[in-house]
Structure 1
Amino acid sequence: MSTTVDQADGALPSARDPAQPFRPPNMALATIGIALAMFMQVLDITIANVSLPTISGNLGASANQAVWVITSFAVSNAIALPLTGFLTRRFGERRLFVWATFAFAIASLLCGLANSMGMLVAARALQGFVAGPMYPVAQALMISIYPPAKRGQAIALLAMVTVVAPIAGPILGGWITDNYSWEWIFFINVPIGIFVSFVVARQLRGRPEKLDKPRMDYVGLATLVVGVGALQVLLDLGNDEDWFNSTRIVVLAIVAVIALAVFFIWELTDKDPIVDLRLFRHRNFASGTIALVLAYAAFFAVALIIPLWLQRNLGYTPIWAGLATAPIGVLPVLLTPFVGKYAGRFDLRVVASLAFIAMAATSFARAGFNLDVDFQRVAMVQLWMGLGVALFFMPVLTILLSDLEPHEIASGSGVATFFRTLGGSFAASLTTWAWNQRTVIHHAQLTEHVPAADPAMRHTVEALGQGDVQRGALVLDHMIFQQAAQIGFNEIFHLLGILFIGVIAFVWLAKPPFAAKMGGGAAAGGH
């Protein structure tokens, strides 16, 4: 039996007129604190992308292992998301947000202090876990402190933060890595996190909250952690371990299958599941969530591969890689307010389809890139992909929430965000694995066509090595590897283009009307 108490951090329930909604002493300062925490958390999803080659080089790790810096954060973040409801009911939204933000700052400090890839991955996993509740709780806090007439502006502000932060991430990460060191991409969070924790704790002191002692779905949580964790480690280690020729990979696969099977069965039959899979009985929720997960996974793959390609294959510095990728955020910043205001006047399936067509077109454009492509063309393709990003999140989120009952909206938002985050994490591992595999295959095929015994070829090798045949052979092999990697890159983007086109089919499985039912919680954020 749960007990419910009013908690206002020292203020007696009777001391506040219940008819008067809570307002912080300084609304602007409270808003800045919450928004800054969100900016910091979303920024960290992309800030490390352009620094991965530098990080792996400094820590003596392979390119495959460097991707763990991204995936460990994403997986831990996804696992923590379903716990948000339990934690807010147990500790209160204000207290959870303050402590999660402070813990994020500590985890960031540990990331910067890491002197091995293992330590960095562990610290990033901790960082991702404590970041899990930050977005949904920030959304709830912003809505609660603003009067109803201004709540739309509050949500729009958070949406703007979640659009701007991923744009700023690669640029800021590149600039810090070039001018200081990669550790500072994490150290900058420490003073910000401490400042935000202090400001929000002070400004929201006295905010009444209902606490209880909810039942915890320990079986669901344990099987989720074990199943998803084993699957992610399998994906990350597979290439290095020669996949199913490795006993470790086979064991991980068995553990993942068993744990996830138990998880799905338990969650479908438990009275109070940690992830409410029964929501997929709703047609629009099921089709919308599948579209969201697939499209976001492809989008996440693009955001990861482009900076790596620019640095490894084209020789860009981290800051120039960040500048080349940044235009993807220009159109979302300009168009998001208009999409939010006017998209509902059209069939949202058409709007979402236009988004996926734009994303597919830019993916096919990248499939035609070569090693001589210039900065302007890379940036221009990124700019036009931003059109797809601007039209993507709002229609798809509205569709998937449209046929849920009012009391299911908050849960549905959390479930969709959970699967979307997992989709991004798995996409990062699978895409880098596929790129490496195709590079190896094409390298072998191209090498077969090099006539080593041909006198003209020997002359070319000598010229490349400036008279040193051995050095010339190494230079030639590097040139072949670069071409092989480029062919692999083009194939990946051709596949991503097909995937974006395929997602359109899932959007059209949904049936109007798409107006969300009144009540429930806030929609999921598109970050």
Structure 2
Amino acid sequence: METGFRKWIIVVTIITSTIIELIDTTIVNVSINTMSGNLGASLEDTAWVITSYAIANVIIIPMTSFLAEKIGRKQYYIGSILLFTLASALCGFSHGLWELVAFRFFQGIGGGALLSTSQSILFETFPPKERGTASGIFSLGVIIGPSIGPVLGGYIVDNLSWQWIFYVNIPIGLMAALLSYIYLRPTKKSDNDRSIDWLGIFLLAVGVGALQVVLERGETDDWFSANYIVLLTIISVLSLAILIWWELRIEHPVINLRVLKSTTLSISAIMTFVLGFGLFSAVFVFPLYSQRLIGYSAFQTGTMLLPGTLMAAMVSPFLGKMLQSGIRPQYLIIVGFGLSAIFGYMMSGSNLQTGGAYFFIPLIFRGLGAALLIVPLTALAVSDLKPADIPQGAALNNMMRQMGGSFGIALINTYIAHRAAANRVALIAHVTASDPQTTGRMQSFIKNFMAHGATYLNAVKQAFGALENTVVRQTFLLSYMDAFMLLAILNACCIPLVIITIKKRSAQAANTKVVVSDH
């Protein structure tokens, strides 16, 4: 527990580290088109720049409590910041896509370690009665990071080169490492000779990595018609199945799955997965939609996300105090999922003529929904755990949020591609020579091109091109709308799960009263 200037300089350092880690989960989103062109790669391949970072986060987060104990938390924290900073510099220096993907993975290893370690340092900085405030402050980084990433990324892409997306981390990372070295209390390495669960680490990395490749490349390569997709699916299923068996068998697992005996934690983990899915997928889909179809710049896209982020930042510090005052987290979570569902539903009703003013309200709902989910879900997840199990429960919950984001981006990309194929077939069925609207539009195109000096034959060719462009735009519009509706449905489906935890807690309270009255 700290006081005075040291306390608040630690808070600023921790929040800064959390924000830059989470900024890098989304800062690439608005620049993915630019990077794809500059690196000569397809959009699907370039998406690996995002997903490799998320995979690394998922792998390292459950290991952080053990590694911090083994190395010493201060040393581990500073080392993670320095790894993140070095990898950021190497990302900027990259000349090829797969080189960039590899360095992003190492950046994710350093960044993922910051997330859970930052939370535990922040909790110990505040006295127990102010832990709710600490949760609210930590949630600022969790919300602001992914949301401000597109704004910062958009500004950099519009005014500098995409490499500066990574270079900006260097001075911030070095300053955070220096302040941590000066102000964090020294921590000793654990004297515990507990062996490292190398098999668990290997199975986790292989299982999650193989599954991510299947999700990312399955649609592109026609799923199980590709032999390597079949092979990786088998590897993923076997690795994850053996991982579960192994982690439940050994005394000191890298992921303590025994804490999932808590029904409340298990249900919270599912909801946190959906939270991560929606939080990161929305920030992935919206920039693509606004830039590729509506024509907004990267910076304009990021700016539209800013009001919702600011609203979430204003609300977050008060949520911890509300929970401490006795408000049950489930009620806040229901409102959070409800607002997130409304965001997806409203976005699914937009079109190519939709202006920025229409997006304001749903994006505000998105920001508020995220704020009302992150802090209460963390509190609910560990509410039934013994004190000794809380760090592992919190780490598992953080892992599920990052895994939801990792899977969400891959799945939503696949879903959009699948819906694009289906929507194109549906639209083409109506584009025929016998359709009055089609012939009318073709004649309009031909007249317009001839009015601008084209010959009749050239005007006809240009008209077919313009008609194809219209079909493509409408196809992707419908596909993005389908993606937003999917997010709405996923969030709405979580509300019954929250109600289950309310009934469970009520039943426990009733049983407690019966036991007390019997005595």
Instruction: State the TM-score, normalizing by the size of structure 1.
Output: 0.88
* RMSD of aligned residue pairs (Cα, Å): 2.4
Q: Is the 8 A contact 1:22 1:207 kept in 2?
A: no
**Are residue 131 (structure 1) and residue 111 (structure 2) matched?**
yes
Q: Is the 8 A contact 2:342 2:362 kept in 1?
A: no
| Distance of 1:514 and 1:95 partners within structure 2 | 45
Within 5 Å, which residues of 2 pair with 1:35-434?
35-146=15-126, 153-204=133-184, 206-207=186-187, 210-343=190-323, 345-434=326-415
| Distance of 1:164 and 1:77 partners within structure 2 | 18
Q: Which residue of 2 aligns with 1:489?
A: 480
TM-fit CA distance, 1:449: 2.0
User: Which residue, out of 465, 474, 477, partners 2:465?
Assistant: 474
Q: Which residue of 2 aligns with 1:7?
A: none
Q: Which residue of 2 aligns with 1:509?
A: 500
Q: Label 1:440 to 1:350 Cα distance change in 2 as closer, same or farther (>3 A).
A: same
- Paired residue type of 1:157: I
Deviations 1:90-138 (A, max 9, x none): 2101111111101101110111112222111111111111212112222
- Paired residue type of 2:383: S
Q: Which residue of 1 aligns with 2:511?
A: none
| Distance of 1:176 and 1:268 partners within structure 2 | 47
| Distance of 1:314 and 1:279 partners within structure 2 | 47
| Distance of 1:323 and 1:394 partners within structure 2 | 25
Q: Which residue of 1 aligns with 2:422?
A: 441
TM-fit CA distance, 1:34: 2.9
- Paired residue type of 1:338: F
User: Does 145-154 or 421-430 show the bigger shift?
Assistant: 145-154
The 3-state SS of whatever aligns with 2:500 is coil
| Distance of 1:40 and 1:375 partners within structure 2 | 27
TM-fit CA distance, 1:210: 4.2
The 3-state SS of whatever aligns with 1:371 is coil
Deviations 1:438-475 (A, max 9, x none): 11221232223222488656534424655323233222
* Equivalences, count: 495
Tell me the percent identity. Answer: 30
Deviations 1:374-425 (A, max 9, x none): 0111122101222212211222222221111111111111111112211211
The 3-state SS of whatever aligns with 1:441 is helix
- Paired residue type of 2:472: F
| Distance of 1:295 and 1:29 partners within structure 2 | 30
Q: Is the 8 A contact 1:25 1:203 kept in 2?
A: no
User: Does 377-386 or 448-457 show the bigger shift?
Assistant: 448-457
Q: Is the 8 A contact 1:434 1:492 kept in 2?
A: yes
Deviations 1:74-103 (A, max 9, x none): 111110112112211221011111111011
| Distance of 1:27 and 1:441 partners within structure 2 | 56
| Distance of 1:100 and 1:355 partners within structure 2 | 32
User: Does 472-481 or 307-316 show the bigger shift?
Assistant: 472-481
Q: Label 1:214 to 1:131 Cα distance change in 2 as closer, same or farther (>3 A).
A: farther
- Paired residue type of 2:486: L
Q: Which residue of 1 aligns with 2:516?
A: none
Q: Is the 8 A contact 2:307 2:364 kept in 1?
A: yes
| Distance of 2:371 and 2:234 partners within structure 1 | 40
| Distance of 2:447 and 2:75 partners within structure 1 | 68
TM-fit CA distance, 1:164: 2.4
The 3-state SS of whatever aligns with 2:351 is coil
| Distance of 1:514 and 1:138 partners within structure 2 | 35
Deviations 1:331-352 (A, max 9, x none): 2112112222124533432221
| Distance of 1:348 and 1:205 partners within structure 2 | 33
Q: Is the 8 A contact 1:284 1:509 kept in 2?
A: no
User: Which residue, out of 423, 429, 443, partners 1:459?
Assistant: 443
The 3-state SS of whatever aligns with 1:132 is helix
Deviations 1:169-196 (A, max 9, x none): 1111100110001110101111221222
Q: Is the 8 A contact 2:276 2:403 kept in 1?
A: no
Q: Is the 8 A contact 1:89 1:211 kept in 2?
A: no
| Distance of 1:476 and 1:79 partners within structure 2 | 47
Q: Label 1:28 to 1:359 Cα distance change in 2 as closer, same or farther (>3 A).
A: closer
Q: Is the 8 A contact 1:231 1:253 kept in 2?
A: yes
Q: Label 1:367 to 1:26 Cα distance change in 2 as closer, same or farther (>3 A).
A: closer
- Paired residue type of 2:485: H
- Paired residue type of 1:90: K
Q: Is the 8 A contact 2:136 2:375 kept in 1?
A: no
- Paired residue type of 1:380: I
Q: Is the 8 A contact 1:398 1:514 kept in 2?
A: no
Q: Is the 8 A contact 2:442 2:464 kept in 1?
A: no
User: Does 152-161 or 228-237 show the bigger shift?
Assistant: 152-161
| Distance of 1:339 and 1:134 partners within structure 2 | 23
The 3-state SS of whatever aligns with 2:375 is helix
Task: Please identify which structure carries the higher helix content.
Answer: 2
Q: Label 1:28 to 1:298 Cα distance change in 2 as closer, same or farther (>3 A).
A: closer
User: Does 148-157 or 58-67 show the bigger shift?
Assistant: 148-157
Q: Label 1:388 to 1:159 Cα distance change in 2 as closer, same or farther (>3 A).
A: closer
Q: Is the 8 A contact 2:65 2:391 kept in 1?
A: no
Gaps spanning 5+ residues in structure 2: where?
509-519
| Distance of 2:158 and 2:345 partners within structure 1 | 31
- Paired residue type of 1:282: S
Q: Is the 8 A contact 1:353 1:504 kept in 2?
A: yes
Q: Which residue of 2 aligns with 1:3?
A: none
Q: Is the 8 A contact 2:134 2:320 kept in 1?
A: no
Gaps spanning 5+ residues in structure 1: where?
1-20, 516-527
| Distance of 2:63 and 2:363 partners within structure 1 | 35
Q: Is the 8 A contact 1:89 1:214 kept in 2?
A: no
User: Does 48-57 or 158-167 show the bigger shift?
Assistant: 158-167
